[in-house]
Amino acid sequence: MLDERKLAVLRAVVEDFVNTNEPVGSRALADRHPLGVSSATIRNDMVALEEEGYIAQPHTSAGRVPTDKGYRLFVDRLSSVKPLSAAERRAIESFLGGAVDLDEIVARTVRLLAQLTRQVAIVQYPSLTRSSVQHVELVPLGGRRIMMVVITNTGRVEQRVIDLLGSVRESVVDDLRTMLNRAIAGKHLGDVPDAVDDLPAQVAPEDRPVAVAVLSVLLESLVERHEEKIVLAGTANLAAVDFAASLRDVLEALEENMVLIRLLGEAKDPSMLTVRIGAENFHEGLRSTSVVSADYGVGNQSLAKIGVVGPTRMDYPGTMGAVRAVARYVGQILAGQ
Amino acid sequence: MLDERKLAVLRAVVEDFVNTNEPVGSRALADRHPLGVSSATIRNDMVALEEEGYIAQPHTSAGRVPTDKGYRLFVDRLSSVKPLSAAERRAIESFLGGAVDLDEIVARTVRLLAQLTRQVAIVQYPSLTRSSVQHVELVPLGGRRIMMVVITNTGRVEQRVIDLLGSVRESVVDDLRTMLNRAIAGKHLGDVPDAVDDLPAQVAPEDRPVAVAVLSVLLESLVERHEEKIVLAGTANLAAVDFAASLRDVLEALEENMVLIRLLGEAKDPSMLTVRIGAENFHEGLRSTSVVSADYGVGNQSLAKIGVVGPTRMDYPGTMGAVRAVARYVGQILAGQ
DNA sequence: AATTAGCACTGAGGACCACGGAGTGCCAGG
DNA sequence: CCTGGCACTCCGTGGTCCTCAGTGCTAATT
């Protein structure tokens, strides 16, 4: 049904349209691509491609434009991820190398990705759920408050202030800290609730309310409160594009953290590049955008995702290459920390 | 030179232009505003206003549009800050009330301000430079690393990992922590360098490298590294506006943290509302935007700034009211923490 | 059977033009 | 000093025409 040449035509249509942003006609195609046939033949092929729904005409007597389905086929079968140039690799390395803490790694990553792809980049902070507790610190803040700081093995630091009903002696806090660390240091976060289950029973009855307050905040901040932090950069790159949907809708969608989380979360095969094209995205305002995303992590443990949002009419091979490369480097940097 | 009526005409021109986004003519003005004179008279006044540079015509036979200078006069002498409605006040209160930590206060504030003004909101984290040290915590991370956490009285938490050359005993860290807190707890940040000056001399010679390493990171992260965090929201609101400069330029400028910091930093009179109109902003891409900013703080101590960026053609009284109100509420919330 | 050349047809977009209307500047009279 | 009146200006709109890239189809060619 779709022989080699028709696929080649589709590929050419996609590539030309991405380059020029104008419907591409049979003559232009015959000129610019070595397909070895005349424009008339290409026209016939285009009719076939159109019948199958891979391309469409904006109006009669205009050239053809790829449909979402066409991009899908292009990504799945007609293109390969384009590796970065040596210069780009060096740029990544030197740019990410200078980061001092997790915040900065993430901040630099997102800017880098936006710059490489000239699109909007999204980076998710390493997930808490898959990491383990490195250390818990309790700091009496004088009076009836304690600050709790939890450090994870992925470099993430969560801090919360705990309001107590009454004041508390410093020695109690010290004991609690020791017990807590003995109980959960090194533990996977998912196991924390079980591990602290019997802690209140081990403290003197009069200190029990304090222990309970601390534990409830701990559990809330680590487990229940799934809140995933997400950072985004490169929105200025959207201004250059003209969307079917209004730019405003796209910007609005991108300002909603929940939308971003879902966008990245829809990736199917972890540890692989995922591409969601146009209407494949659940969100109304993102109908004319595509999302390229990838997992990053340390070793084979996936920690979170990064991605790029751009018009469906994007350079998929290049974008995929950039996303994959950056994901790998971030993993390396995190491992080295 | 500019009598009462001419000022009233200018005010009317600004208000109408803000509402309609179209050059306003003498007839329309005479209709919509109770100026008590005919359109011919208004025409004469407009000529005077134009000669003084307060308004301009996009082209002959078009209505008039306020210039930057016209907006300036409007803001300085012809308008007053518009207080928020009771409903808006309640919304602020309930929206900011639920925040649990500093990050969330800031995040909610910026979204709130963007929503109230329907423009881009900017919020700066409370400055480190004017706050004092509440507590310093040192946590041995096993091996040759220490995590340092500094908690300020403004609720901000700075953490850094310190890489050591050799391993260090836990007791040394304990001693260091105690000494450090004795030296700087409660101290104003500006006084920290002096306060820790002689600390290395007080530790045993073999532990001195550790002490020096810790102190250098402390000083770097608190004093030298001025890095002010800034958050921004509401960029989608820009899409509705049509700028003289391209939208892209504006978005680009807003993605540069340094630009934002300078934007807020240019406020003259602290603790007052500041308005910078059009070309008064130093940045090329922001020639057609205005910035309304205000300090917020606890008591009479200014901690940082918040602001709004929008087109020069903005509702100044309303925007100023929202900025001022939000600044005050944030101060209250921080004080209550 | 597949490819190609040729040709008539289509529709978007640009150039051109006419015109209505909002707005101006100016003048003479209240 | 204000106002009514008037001639003038120019923008924006809408209509018409034309060009041109591109199509679909058919008949000829390989």
Concatenated DSSP letters of B273-299: -EEEEGGGSS-GGGTTEEEEEEEEEET
> What local confidence, expressed as pLDDT, does residue A87 receive?
94
Angstrom distance, B45 CA to C24 C1'? 13
Lowest-confidence region among A7-21, A106-120, B195-209: B195-209
What mean pLDDT do residues A172-196 have? 88
Backbone angles phi, psi at B140, to 5 degrees: -65, 130
Interatomic distance A200 CA / D16 C1' (Å): 88
Distance from CA of A323 to the nearest CA of B (A): 21
Answer yes or no: do A159 and B101 touch at CB < 8 A: yes
Is B236 near strand D, with its CB below 7 A from some atom of it? no
User: What is the spatial distance, in angstroms and rounded to an integer, between the CA atom of B56 and the C1' atom of C18?
Assistant: 30
Q: How many residues does chain A have?
A: 337
CB contact under 8 A, A255 and B240: no
In the predicted model, is pLDDT for residue B219 greater than 80? yes
pLDDT band at B270 (very low <50, low <70, confident <90, very high): low
Percent of chain A, pLDDT > 90? 52
Whether the CB-CB separation of B250 and B235 falls below 8 Å is answered with no
Task: Give residue B226's pLDDT.
Answer: 53
CA distance B122 to B255: 11
* Residue nearest the C1' of D9 (CA based): B61
- Residue from B58, B123, B142 nearest B257 by CA: B123
Could you tell me if B315 and B294 are in contact, meaning their C-beta atoms sit under 8 angstroms apart?
Answer: no
- State the nucleotide closest to B25 in CA–C1' terms: C23
Is pLDDT above 70 for A227? no
Decide if A141 touches B, using CB distance below 8 A.
yes
Quote the CA–CA distance of B233 and B120 in Å, as a whole number: 6
Of A135, A155, A248, the CB nearest to B139: A135
Residue B331 has pLDDT above 80, yes or no: yes
Per-residue model confidence (pLDDT) at position A249: 92
Segment B221-234 mean pLDDT: 77
Q: Is B141 on the interface with A (CB under 8 A)?
A: yes
pLDDT confidence band for A171 (50 / 70 / 90) = confident
pLDDT (mean) for B140-169: 81
Nearest nucleotide (CA of A62 to C1'):
D22
Give residue B60's pLDDT: 85
Higher pLDDT, A189 or B316: B316
B43-CA/D5-C1' distance, Å: 14
- Which residue in B has a C-alpha nearest to residue A253's C-alpha? B236
The answer to whether residue A121 scores a pLDDT higher than 80 is: yes
Q: Has residue B271 got a pLDDT over 70?
A: no
Residue A68: predicted pLDDT: 96
Helix (H) or strand (E) holding A39: helix A39-51
SS3 track for chain A: CCCHHHHHHHHHHHHHHHHHCCCECHHHHHHHCCCCCCHHHHHHHHHHHHHCCCEECCCCCCCEEECHHHHHHHHHHHCCCCCCCHHHHHHHHHHHHCCCCHHHHHHHHHHHHHHHHCCEEEEECCCCCCCEEEEEEEEECCCCEEEEEEEECCCCEEEEEEECCCCCCHHHHHHHHHHHHHHHCCCEHHHHHHHCCCHHHHCCHHHHHHHHHHHHHHHHHHHHCCCCCEEEECHHHHHHCCCCCCHHHHHHHHHCHHHHHHHHHCCCCCCCCEEEEHHHCCCHHHCCEEEEEEEEEECCEEEEEEEEEEECCCCHHHHHHHHHHHHHHHHHHHHHC
The residue type found at B326 is V
Q: Which of B247, B246, B191 has the alpha carbon at shortest distance from B222?
A: B191
From chain B, pick out residues whose CB is under 8 angstroms from the CB of A161. 101, 155, 337
Q: In what order do the strands lie in the sheet with A301-311?
A: A230-233, A120-124, A301-311, A289-298, A274-277
Cα angle, residue B177 at apex, residues A134 and B104 outer, rounded to 5°: 55
Closest residue in chain A to residue B233, using alpha carbons only: A255
Which of A332-336, B20-24, B219-223 shows the lowest mean pLDDT across its residues? Answer: B219-223
pLDDT at A55 over 90: yes
Q: Is residue A35 scored above 80 in pLDDT?
A: yes
Q: Which amino acid, one-letter code, is at A230?
A: I
Cβ-defined contact of A248 to B239 (cutoff 8 Å): yes
Residue A141 has its nearest CB partner, among B135, B160, B247, at B135
pLDDT tier at B268, thresholds 50, 70, 90: low
Residue located via tokens 């898959």: A130
Of B240, B246, B252, the CB nearest to A248: B240
- Tell me the two tokens of residue A10: 């589709």
Q: Which of B103, B148, B149, B256 to mutate to test the interface with A (most CBs of A within 10 A)?
A: B149
Task: Supply B145's token pair.
Answer: 């690393």
pLDDT at B242: 74
CB of B37 lies under 7 Å from some atom of strand D: yes
Average pLDDT over residues A123-129: 84
- A248 vs B: CB within 8 A: yes
For residue B239, the 8-state DSSP code is G
Q: Do B252 and A236 touch (CB under 8 A)?
A: yes
pLDDT number for residue A9: 96
Confidence of residue A17 (pLDDT cuts 50, 70, 90): very high
Query: Does an H or E element contain B135, and which?
Result: strand B133-140
> B118-149, pLDDT tens digit by residue?
999 999 988 777 778 888 888 877 678 888 88
Q: Which residues pair with A150 in a beta bridge?
A: A136, A158
Range list of H helices, A125-236: 170-184, 192-195, 199-202, 208-219
Whole-number pLDDT of residue A65: 96
- Among chain B residues, CA nearest to A232: B255
Overall average pLDDT of the A311-325 stretch: 96
Q: Which of A100, A239, A255 sits opposite B246 (nearest CB)?
A: A239
| Strand pairing category for B157-163 and B145-152 | antiparallel
- pLDDT higher than 60, residue B225: no
Give pLDDT tens digits for B85-117: 999 999 999 999 888 778 889 999 999 999 999
Tell me which chain A residues have a C-beta less than 8 angstroms from the C-beta of B157. Answer: 147, 149, 159
3-state secondary structure A319-331: HHHHHHHHHHHHH
pLDDT top residue among A265 and A233: A233
**pLDDT confidence tier of residue B337, bands split at 50, 70 and 90:** low
Give residues 51-110 of chain A lying near strand D (Cβ < 7 A).
Answer: 57, 60-64
Shortest distance between the Cα of A160 and any Cα of chain B, in A, equals 7
| pLDDT band, very low/low/confident/very high, at A92 (cuts 50, 70, 90) | very high
Mean pLDDT for the stretch of residues A73-81: 95
Q: What average pLDDT is seen over chain A?
A: 89
pLDDT of residue A223: 65
Among all protein residues, pick the one whose CA is nearest to the C1' atom of D2.
B41
A157-163/B157-163 β-pairing: unpaired
With beta carbons under 8 A apart, name residues in chain B contacting A101: 159-161
Q: Give the pLDDT confidence score for residue A189 in this predicted structure.
A: 84
Residue B228 has pLDDT above 80, yes or no: no
* B166, pLDDT greater than 80: yes
Using a 7 Å CB cut-off, which residues contact strand C? A 5, 36-38, 40-41, 44, 59-62; B 23-28, 39-40, 43, 46-47, 50, 57, 60-64
Tell me the per-residue pLDDT of B58-82, one tens digit each, with 9 for 90 and over.
888 889 999 999 999 999 999 999 9
For the cut 60, the answer to whether the pLDDT of residue A226 exceeds it is no
Q: What is the mean pLDDT of residues A218-239?
A: 81
Choose the closest CB to B139 out of A137, A147, A246.
A137
Selected residues 281-320 of chain B with any CB under 8 Å from a CB in chain A: none
For residue B136, what pLDDT is reported? 86
Report whether pLDDT(A294) > 90. yes
Mean pLDDT computed over A9-38: 93
Average pLDDT of chain B is 88
Does the beta-carbon distance from B248 to A239 stay under 8 Å? yes
Q: What does residue B306 show for φ and ψ, rounded to 5 degrees?
A: -125, 160
A137 and chain B: CB distance < 8 Å anywhere? yes
Q: Please give the model's pTM, rounded to 2 decimal places.
A: 0.85
Find which of A159-163, B259-263, B315-319 is predicted with most confidence, using mean pLDDT: B315-319
Q: Where is pLDDT greater, at B111 or B170?
A: B111
Comparing CB atoms, the residue among B101, B147, B251 nearest residue A235 is B251
